[in-house]
Structure 1
Amino acid sequence: MTELSGLPQGGVPAAGRLAGKVCVVTGAASGIGRAVAERFAAEGAAVVATDIDRDGLGRLADALPQAVTTVVGDVSRDDDARRMIEAAVERHGRLDVLVANAGVIPLMEITEAGADDWDRVMAVDGRGMFLTCKYAVEAMAGADGSGAAGHGGAGGAIVCVSSISGEAGQRGQAVYGPAKFVASGLTKHLAVEWASRGIRVNAVAPGTITTERVRRLQDEPGGPEYLEAIEKLHPMGRLGDPAEVAAAVLFLASDDASFVTGAVLPVDGGYLAQ
């Protein structure tokens, strides 16, 4: 279901680093995705927020100072992924930025995981990222795939949300980590493939971030011990905040990063520097 707000067609605030930009953020109902949607809106973007969580999207829309387009759907479903991108084009006439953030984060060792666990994570974190990037590239490049202004498309920016687990090995990440290697790899391949068409593709690799999912670990068996151990592995001695990841995503999505593509930017308190 696509729910359109009362914002006039193409209307966006007049100031900010993303003023006039049309941006789709997947997995926007909570965590990093919500922080990105909030920051983008504050920077003047016309935001299309997507998630499977209808209630969470409603709370996001209520919290933003200007109207937002919300799309309820599952990124792993081809029709839903296409509809998320089409909502931006139909509403605002184009797509400038995609933040491919939607994902699930199970914590398990390979002996605890089954094929169903693998398939579920790869469906969302892998297939879902592929599908949303695919339809975003098509929208940014235009119908003829030229991707240049005046040739059916004006280019754009894609930011994939990877992870430190998509750059290095971690305990308890036998299912989630490989899916984030997909995110990092897809970023690099698309960056090379579409650079000449004016489409930049980058990623962020967050460390452990205090999302709702991470905060719930405090109440789960073994959770407090896990959090204590993982915090010590970050040289800055603390976990990150979703707003800190959103700030990095903003940079990569903005014109400030006009000569940056194919990068995977750690936002991890020094974790990957070790």
Structure 2
Amino acid sequence: MANEVSGRLADRVCVVTGAASGIGRATALRFAREGARVVATDVDAERLGTLGDGMVTVVGDVSRDEDARRMIATAVERFGRLDVLVANAGVIPLLDVTEATGSDFDEVMAVDGRGMFLTCKYAIEAMRLTGGGAIVCTSSVSGVAGQARQAVYGPAKFVATGLTKHLAVEWAAHGIRVNAVAPGTIETERVAAVRGEPGGPAYLDTVARAHPMARFGRPEEVASAILFLASDESSFVTGAVLPVDGGYLAQ
């Protein structure tokens, strides 16, 4: 199912942030296969450049006002409008509150919180000029329920969940839908890195067992959920936070 192509985003102009790796990369590639004109953004210029021909890329930091504005402006300048934003960029430290510093908290909030706010802000400014659009934010199960070792990441994802709901209400009358996905643990480069950290394998084994499906998700599975929320198939859906978590939040 995750690899089916139906042209659901044919000729849509889409910006995907955090597109160099993980969920963002899988989403950018899936959108391109579905016929979208994709502007892919990330701070990692090298990996962003490996997305392939036909993808417009913008290197920048979503937490910087001028960079966030430029990401959206690039789509409008190249294609005349913006139809979809996937506000996905984020950093994921694993820290408990005694390990974390104020600087750790500020860094995560800058990218995962402020960065999402800024990209949504500039996307909405563009979308309201052309009659609407769809925004999909990447939240997390940590943005819906508490988890151990998420003292800085979890609160930032509660920002993502809250921003989704408030913007959905604020802009529904303008034809702009705002939804979010709440992934469980996904097999990304970050998870691969944890396996090499002290205590990492044991930690991940515990986390895997906490998912009723007893496995981690794949980036492509989250991309399929994002595609649904970005497409006309979800035309009467706004303000939703869709778990893609192997049953984690159902417990």
Instruction: Give TM class, smaller chain.
Output: over 0.9
1:114 to 78, 94, 101: 101
1:4-61 CA distance string (max 9 Å, x none): xxxxxxxxxxx70000100000000000000000100010000000000000111112
Aligned residue number for residue 181 of structure 2: 204
Is 1:123–2:110 an aligned residue pair? yes
Aligned residue number for residue 39 of structure 2: 48
CA RMSD of aligned residues (A): 0.7
1:170-193 CA distance string (max 9 Å, x none): 000000000000000000000000
1:57-206 equivalent positions in 2, closer than 5 A: 57-62=48-53, 67-142=54-129, 153-206=130-183
Aligned residue number for residue 12 of structure 1: none
Q: Distance in 2 between matches of 1:52 and 1:128?
A: 12
TM-score where L is the length of structure 2: 0.97
Q: Which runs of 5+ in 1 are unaligned?
A: 1-14, 143-152
Is 1:25–2:16 an aligned residue pair? yes
Show structure 1 runs of 4+ deviating over 3 A.
Answer: none
The one-letter code sitting in structure 1 at the alignment partner of 2:85 is: L
Is 1:34–2:19 an aligned residue pair? no
Report which structure shows greater RCO (CA 8 Å, sep ≥6): 2
| Secondary structure at the counterpart of residue 159 of structure 1 | strand
TM-fit CA distance, 1:217? 1.2
Q: Distance in 2 between matches of 1:237 and 1:176?
A: 23
Aligned residue number for residue 245 of structure 1: 222
Q: Which has the larger radius of gyration?
A: 1
Q: Distance in 1 between matches of 2:62 and 2:68?
A: 5
Q: Distance in 2 between matches of 1:251 and 1:226?
A: 32
1:183-204 CA distance string (max 9 Å, x none): 0000000000000000000000
| Secondary structure at the counterpart of residue 47 of structure 1 | strand
The one-letter code sitting in structure 1 at the alignment partner of 2:189 is: E
The one-letter code sitting in structure 2 at the alignment partner of 1:159 is: V
Q: Distance in 1 between matches of 2:247 and 2:20?
A: 28
Q: Which runs of 5+ in 2 are unaligned?
A: 1-5
1:114-161 CA distance string (max 9 Å, x none): 11000000000000000000000000002xxxxxxxxxx220000000
Q: Distance in 2 between matches of 1:49 and 1:56?
A: 11
Q: Distance in 1 between matches of 2:40 and 2:191?
A: 22
1:74-109 CA distance string (max 9 Å, x none): 000000000000000000000000000000000000
1:234-258 CA distance string (max 9 Å, x none): 0001000000000000000000000
Aligned residue number for residue 219 of structure 1: 196
Aligned residue number for residue 240 of structure 2: 263
Q: Distance in 2 between matches of 1:154 and 1:221?
A: 51
TM-fit CA distance, 1:215? 1.1
| Secondary structure at the counterpart of residue 91 of structure 2 | coil
Q: Distance in 1 between matches of 2:170 and 2:141?
A: 24
Return 247-256 or 214-223, whichever deviates more: 214-223
Q: Distance in 2 between matches of 1:72 and 1:184?
A: 26
TM-score where L is the length of structure 1: 0.89
